[in-house]
Amino acid sequence: MGRRTANRLGFGIDIGGSGIKGAPVDLARGRLADDRLRIPTPRPATPEAVAGTVAEILRHFGWRADFGCTFPAVVQAGVVRSAANVDTAWVGVDAHALLRSATGQRAVVVNDADAAGLAEAHFGAARDHGGTVLVTTLGTGIGSALVHDGTLVPNTELGHLELDGCDAESRAAESARTREGLSWEDWAQRLTSYYRHVEDLLWPDLIVVGGGVSRKSAKWLPLVKARTPIVPAELANDAGIIGAARITGQRRRKP
């Protein structure tokens, strides 16, 4: 699998706190083109250790072209500005340069929620939906991605809005529900407050909700009261890989 296939395929890698996974992606269909490979995130998750794991995944698939990579942090022009669930040594690192050195290939590194949101906007629950789409992931925290007419507005970090005097994700993330033993109804009330706050700021045309709890959306999503249509995500754990590969494909096509 080399450069001659790069026009049809892309490659995405999703760096998480517990695992790093990657696979080639069919850029036309927005689906994985092979079974993904997952390797536990190194401990400690230093830049050098994580870059080595990324290189191992690329070697496994024989990928020798540009690739996309998600990272659980704010990423500006390839430079990591924050760190969640990875070593704080990442802050200030030029991830583009680091991964290029470790793999020999050009990498495009983006925020993990942004990659998942772009995938949902083009291939998942928001495909063919114009206007402003907000994609949120409910898990340990609240990740967010804002896409307007197919164009990503990066690094929105809407999980850190103030809600009831607290950081929103400390009150409304899925981890808050499990930590506090909230019923689906009580959690839905908090989500209602959160999404109404976001609506007043952004006026989205569609909200897509991802994260593992989206698979149980029938239990709680109908209880969330908002003026914007809210639907569950469709791409599940593949969204980050697919979104990262698509971003790289877009960059490759630019003159």
Domains of the chain: 3-111 (3.30.420.40), 125-234 (3.30.420.40)
CA distance 188 to 217: 11
Strands (E), 41-173: 67-71, 75-76, 79-80, 107-111, 132-138, 142-148, 151-153, 162-163, 166-167
> pLDDT at position 8, please?
86
pTM beyond cutoff 0.85: yes
Residue 239 is encoded by which pair of tokens?
């969204």
**Are 67 and 14 in contact, with CB atoms under 8 Å apart?**
no
For residue 64, with 0-12 CB atoms within 10 Å meaning exposed, 13-18 middle and 19 or more buried, which class applies? middle
Return d(Cα 252, Cα 234) in angstroms, integer: 26
Within 10 Å of residue 158's Cβ, how many Cβ atoms?
20
- Listed as ranges, residues in the chain with pLDDT below 70 are 1-7, 84-85, 250-255
What pLDDT shows up at residue 85?
A: 67
Torsion of CA 210, 216, 36, 2, to 10 degrees: -40
